[in-house]
């Protein structure tokens, strides 16, 4: 597109009347250019834009995934996976603590560190479990 001067744009007549090009095509409005560059500086101009959208509702029939969606919501509302993870952690904690207590006084630094990590992870697991809420 060739650059035009600001003075030339002001002299031109702009046709903003709607024109119908075809019976089945949307209306097209001729609008002026949004940016005109002069020789020394750039000038911007606000342009009003009309837009037509098809907002009609289309009936696509029943959703074939409705049963799957209900099953997913049920699994989410029952919170099956967090409860399974907490149960597995409780069993792990129980076994680790009883193993450590069975060692007696001969526990090494590595064994103490393992028990400390497993017990400390319980706070994180419990915090995540109680902090998460059902989004239904």
- What is residue 83's predicted lDDT score, i.e. its pLDDT? 86
End-to-end CA distance of the chain: 55
94 lies in some domain: yes
108 lies in some domain: yes
Say if CB 50 and CB 29 are below 8 A apart. yes
58 lies in some domain: no
16 lies in some domain: no
90 lies in some domain: yes
Provide the domain limits for residue 110.
66-131
Q: Each residue of 19-42: pLDDT tens digit?
A: 555 455 555 555 555 555 555 667
78 lies in some domain: yes
Q: How many domains does the chain divide into?
A: 1
What's the whole-model pTM score? 0.46
51 lies in some domain: no
């Amino acid at each position: 597109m060739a650059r035009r001067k600001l003075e030339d744009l002001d002299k031109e007549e702009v046709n903003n009347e709607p024109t119908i090009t075809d019976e089945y095509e949307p209306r097209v409005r001729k609008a002026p250019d949004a940016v005109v560059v002069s020789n020394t500086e750039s000038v911007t101009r606000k342009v009003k834009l009309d837009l037509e959208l098809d907002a009609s509702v289309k009936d696509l029939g029943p959703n074939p995934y409705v049963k799957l969606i209900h099953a997913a919501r049920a699994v989410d509302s029952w919170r099956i996976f967090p409860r399974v993870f907490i149960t597995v952690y409780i069993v792990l904690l129980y076994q680790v603590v009883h193993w450590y207590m069975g060692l007696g006084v001969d526990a090494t630094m590595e064994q103490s560190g393992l028990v400390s990590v497993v017990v400390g992870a319980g706070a994180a697991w419990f915090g995540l479990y109680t902090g998460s809420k059902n989004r239904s």
